[in-house]
């Protein structure tokens, strides 16, 4: 079999970012397009990334007392209509089931776009007394939202996610839960996915349909567009009143509990790709990477090389997610390129001369640096290097975000900044929907959030209308 010398080229991200993204997700076999437009097939490598993300978040949920449940995929239309603002927000995206077999259903069933309504209908059956509170439940599932324009991981008609739904005695308890879950989202995103987040409150226009308040974490992609990466909602009593969820409180009176919901999805994989990737493909943070280190034997046809490579691999796999590539018919260079494209943090090269010197070569995916390491301290060296790569990836992403963040005191400066250096624009906002809409109309940028850490830009005047403003907000064009 002839040796393959090159991996098929990936479009440069600076030349065509959208095509670069498509090339990366297809050539690394993260995903493929299904026969139904807008629905993606997540392939093993892509699903392994999701499993690692899911595992860490699920652990954090359980550590804070939450339990997993599962609710039906189909929701009766009558339930969806119980909360008017909610149904209005999701109506354009709902997919309907109208037939069971060859018979017309008496009532249409929607495929869940989110599960507030079906979950609230069950909570109204289960909750009786304050002694049962708080309800701390979560489900991992898929949802369907019939999107007009789709792109795998970023916006698809079906996607995987989790949705937590909790009930509390007081507003303050619900608010504490809302912020606690947002902080868990941020913590895992920054520590494990190496993605720095801007966190804050959504405007009324951008909040979840039916929510009292929505809080978000926002990431900035390499092309300067923002990506909403996780949201947490204080729903107040909007849904509990609509669904007549009541209980006997501590004074033996009927009361409505306070409700929260929160969610992250496979969109985080899109963030991973677009924050860390480069012209050679994926760059995976070690804590999330399906494969942390790949062993590649050099001149594997020579005596003893494969045996030693397997010995090294067997030692590594006890502590790390490791693989060995000893496939015949492919040159070491082809393998290097292939695993580099997949973003594996460390490539371990070992050949006859290395074996003779009791060493190997470790190549970093994030910097391309090659390091000679003694086999006697290999495990310790790999562990240290993975930690360094994880931190370096976060630092690099943070530096990129800071370089793509500007401030503006008027609309002329706002537009100039956004065109010259696409990214976040920090500006004062008066709080009016009129100004929010005008900014979007003039620039294509939406209000991403009002950050928890506020600052005054310029003289504190709204960037759009010039009125006194109390809120500084992050604006950006977004996926």
- Residues 277 and 224: their CA atoms lie apart, in Å, by 14
Element (H, E) at 423: none
- Domain membership of residue 284 (yes or no) is no
Peptide bond into 399 cis (omega under 30): no
For 157-184, how does the pLDDT look when each residue is reduced to its tens digit (9 = 90+)? 999 999 999 999 999 999 999 999 999 9
Supply the CATH number for residue 157's domain: 3.30.930.10
Q: How confident is the model at residue 209 (pLDDT cuts 50, 70, 90)?
A: confident
Crossing angle for the helix pair 267-276 and 44-63, to the nearest 10 degrees: 110
pLDDT at position 86 is: 63
How do strand 370-374 and strand 40-42 relate by DSSP bridges? unpaired
pLDDT at position 87 is: 64
Q: Are residues 310 and 251 in the same domain?
A: no
b vs e for 120-129, b when ≥16 Cβ sit within 10 Å of the residue's Cβ?
A: bbbbeeebee
Q: Are residues 381 and 262 in the same domain?
A: no
- Domain membership of residue 285 (yes or no) is no
Average pLDDT over residues 303-320: 97
Among residues of the chain, what percentage have pLDDT more than 90?
A: 93
Mean of per-residue pLDDT scores for the chain: 95
Q: Are residues 76 and 222 in the same domain?
A: yes
- Residues 33 and 4: their CA atoms lie apart, in Å, by 26
Q: Using an 8 Å Cβ cutoff, are 168 and 134 in contact?
A: yes
Closest by Cα among 420, 418, 433, 393 to 474: 418
Whole-angstrom CA distances from 335 to 5, 26, 340 are: 9, 18, 8
Q: Are residues 62 and 98 in the same domain?
A: yes
Flag whether pLDDT at 4 surpasses 50: no
Q: Are residues 219 and 359 in the same domain?
A: no
Q: Are residues 458 and 310 in the same domain?
A: no
Q: Using an 8 Å Cβ cutoff, are 91 and 194 in contact?
A: no
Average pLDDT over residues 211-220: 97
Q: Are residues 268 and 164 in the same domain?
A: yes
198: its two tokens = 């801007």
DSSP 8-state secondary structure symbol assigned to residue 41: E
Supply the CATH number for residue 463's domain: 3.30.110.30
Crossing angle for the helix pair 44-63 and 171-191, to the nearest 10 degrees: 140
Sheet holding 405-407, edge to edge: 67-68, 135-144, 158-168, 258-265, 226-236, 213-220, 198-201, 446-451, 471-476, 424-429, 405-407
- Domain membership of residue 1 (yes or no) is no
- C-beta contacts of 327-331 below 8 A and 24+ residues apart: 328/1, 329/1, 329/2, 329/3, 329/4, 330/3, 330/4, 331/3, 331/4, 331/5
Structural domain that includes position 445: 405-476
Q: Are residues 298 and 439 in the same domain?
A: no
pLDDT at position 270 is: 98
314: its two tokens = 């067997």
Q: Are residues 351 and 458 in the same domain?
A: no
| Total domains present in the chain | 3
- Domain membership of residue 7 (yes or no) is no
For 423-471, how does the pLDDT look when each residue is reduced to its tens digit (9 = 90+)? 999 999 999 999 999 999 999 999 999 999 999 999 999 999 999 999 9
Q: Using an 8 Å Cβ cutoff, are 237 and 258 in contact?
A: yes
Q: Which residue has the tokens 């690692």?
A: 52
Flag whether pLDDT at 357 surpasses 70: yes
pLDDT at position 265 is: 98
How do strand 370-374 and strand 135-144 relate by DSSP bridges? unpaired
For 46-103, how does the pLDDT look when each residue is reduced to its tens digit (9 = 90+)? 999 999 999 999 999 999 999 999 999 999 999 888 876 666 767 788 999 999 999 9
pLDDT at position 6 is: 46
Q: Are residues 21 and 119 in the same domain?
A: yes
Element (H, E) at 265: strand 258-265
pLDDT at position 410 is: 98
DSSP 8-state secondary structure symbol assigned to residue 139: E
Q: Using an 8 Å Cβ cutoff, are 140 and 164 in contact?
A: no
For 229-257, how does the pLDDT look when each residue is reduced to its tens digit (9 = 90+)? 999 999 999 999 999 999 999 999 999 99
Q: Are residues 89 and 167 in the same domain?
A: yes
Q: How confident is the model at residue 3 (pLDDT cuts 50, 70, 90)?
A: very low
Burial of 106 (0-12, 13-18, 19+ CB in 10 A): exposed
For 20-29, how does the pLDDT look when each residue is reduced to its tens digit (9 = 90+)? 999 999 999 9
């Amino acid at each position: 079999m002839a040796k393959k010398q090159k991996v098929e080229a990936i479009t440069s991200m600076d030349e065509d970012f959208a095509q670069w993204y498509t090339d990366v997700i297809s050539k690394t076999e993260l995903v493929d397009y299904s026969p139904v437009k807008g629905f993606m097939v997540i392939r093993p490598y892509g699903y392994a990334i999701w499993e690692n993300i899911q595992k860490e978040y699920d652990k954090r949920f359980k550590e804070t007392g939450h339990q997993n449940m599962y609710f039906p995929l189909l929701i009766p239309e009558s339930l969806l209509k119980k909360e008017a603002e909610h149904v209005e927000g999701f109506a354009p995206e709902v997919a309907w089931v109208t037939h069971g077999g060859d018979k017309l259903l008496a009532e249409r069933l929607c495929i869940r776009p989110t599960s507030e309504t079906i979950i609230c209908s069950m909570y109204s059956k289960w909750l009786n007394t304050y002694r049962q509170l708080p309800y701390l439940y979560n489900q991992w599932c898929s949802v369907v939202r019939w999107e007009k324009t789709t792109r795998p991981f970023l916006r698809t008609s079906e996607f995987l996610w989790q949705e937590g739904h909790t009930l509390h005695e007081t507003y303050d308890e619900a608010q504490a839960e809302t912020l606690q879950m947002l902080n868990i989202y941020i913590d895992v995103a920054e520590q494990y996915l190496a993605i720095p987040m801007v966190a804050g409150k959504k405007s009324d226009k951008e909040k979840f349909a039916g929510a009292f308040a929505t809080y978000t974490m926002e990431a900035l992609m390499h092309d300067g567009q923002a990506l909403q990466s996780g949201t947490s909602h204080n729903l107040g009593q909007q849904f509990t009143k609509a669904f007549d969820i009541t209980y006997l409180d501590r004074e033996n009176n009927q009361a409505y509990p306070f409700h929260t919901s929160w969610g992250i999805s496979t969109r985080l994989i899109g963030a991973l790709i677009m924050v860390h990737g480069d012209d050679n493909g994926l760059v995976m943070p070690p804590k999330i990477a399906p494969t942390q280190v790949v062993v590649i034997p050099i001149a594997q046809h020579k005596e003893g090389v494969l045996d030693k490579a397997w010995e090294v691999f067997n030692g590594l796999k006890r502590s790390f997610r490791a693989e060995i590539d000893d496939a015949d018919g492919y040159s070491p260079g082809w393998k290097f390129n292939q695993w580099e494209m997949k973003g594996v943090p460390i490539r371990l090269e070992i050949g006859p001369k290395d074996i003779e010197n009791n060493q190997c070569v470790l190549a970093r995916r994030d910097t391309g640096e090659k390091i000679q390491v003694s086999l006697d301290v290999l495990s310790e060296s790999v562990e240290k290097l993975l930690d360094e790569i994880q931190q370096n990836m976060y630092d690099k992403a943070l530096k990129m975000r800071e370089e793509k963040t500007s401030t503006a005191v008027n609309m002329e400066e706002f537009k100039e900044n956004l065109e010259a250096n696409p990214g976040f624009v920090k500006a004062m906002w008066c709080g009016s929907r009129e100004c929010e809409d005008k900014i979007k109309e003039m620039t294509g940028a939406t209000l991403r959030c009002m950050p928890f850490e506020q600052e005054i830009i310029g003289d504190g005047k709204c960037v759009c209308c010039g009125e006194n403003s109390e809120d500084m907000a992050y604006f950006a064009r977004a996926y």
